[in-house]
Each structure stands twice: as C-alpha cells, then as structure tokens.
Amino acid sequence: MAGTYKNFLRLLEKWPIDATKKKRDIGIHIREQLKLHFTASGELNPTISQEKCDRRFVSLKRLVDNHHKNVYRRSATSSATGLTAEQCNSVLSDEFLDHLAQQRKSILVKVD
C-alpha cells in the first residue's frame, strides 16, 4: 500500500497549486484529502477500501493528464460565456472576486 501512496505523491507533483485561488484550489483540496486517506507512514486508512482508492487515483490521473481534453478536442477558443480560458481564470481569481465584493459593498452603501 505504500506504493499507492507514492503513486499519489508522484501524481501531485504534476498538479500545480494555483496561487490565484488560495483556499479554493483543487490541488490544495486533493493534498488535504490525501492526508486524511493515508497515515503518516503512507499506509491506507482502514476506513478506505483499496478499490475506492484505486478508482480515485485513476480519476485524478485522467484529470492531471488532460485525458478528456486531449480525447475530445475543441475547435472553439471561447466558452459559453464568450470568454477565453485565460479570461475565465482571471475572473475566478481571489483578487477579482475580492474586487467584486468591494464593489457590491459600495453599491449597497449608496442604496442605503
């Protein structure tokens, strides 16, 4: 089972942490889940079955390897919103969301 833990660690090396989404980053969430599923020595938590762990690993591997993105290529460079991937990333950043929250506060102050 220590091999399973090492496989997850190798997988996480490929998964960058998005600094623009500090507490909302999926990479951070996966790392926290890994701490819950494995002991400090790398053994699988007895409450988690090996089969379930293997399924999660395969799913995460597909995500990190962009399996579905490569299999189902898109010809369009924009999304349903009309924004590009880069624009979507900037709109979802913590900095932009904080900016929106500040604007909402100032609008509410003006209404009161």
**10 and 27 together in one domain:** yes
**69 and 82 together in one domain:** no
- Its pTM stands at 0.67
**69 and 21 together in one domain:** yes
Q: What is the pLDDT of residue 23?
A: 80
Residue 11 CA to residue 67 CA, distance in Å, equals 14
- Range(s) of the domain holding residue 41: 1-73
Which ranges of the chain have pLDDT less than 70? 1-2, 106-112
How many domains are there within the chain?
Answer: 2
**37 and 2 together in one domain:** yes
**50 and 87 together in one domain:** no
Average pLDDT, the chain: 85
Amino acid code (one letter) for 40: A
**47 and 30 together in one domain:** yes
**101 and 52 together in one domain:** no
Residue 44 CA to residue 5 CA, distance in Å, equals 8
Residue 49 CA to residue 44 CA, distance in Å, equals 8
Q: What is the pLDDT of residue 94?
A: 82
Q: What is the pLDDT of residue 2?
A: 66
Q: What size, in residues, is the chain?
A: 112
**29 and 56 together in one domain:** yes
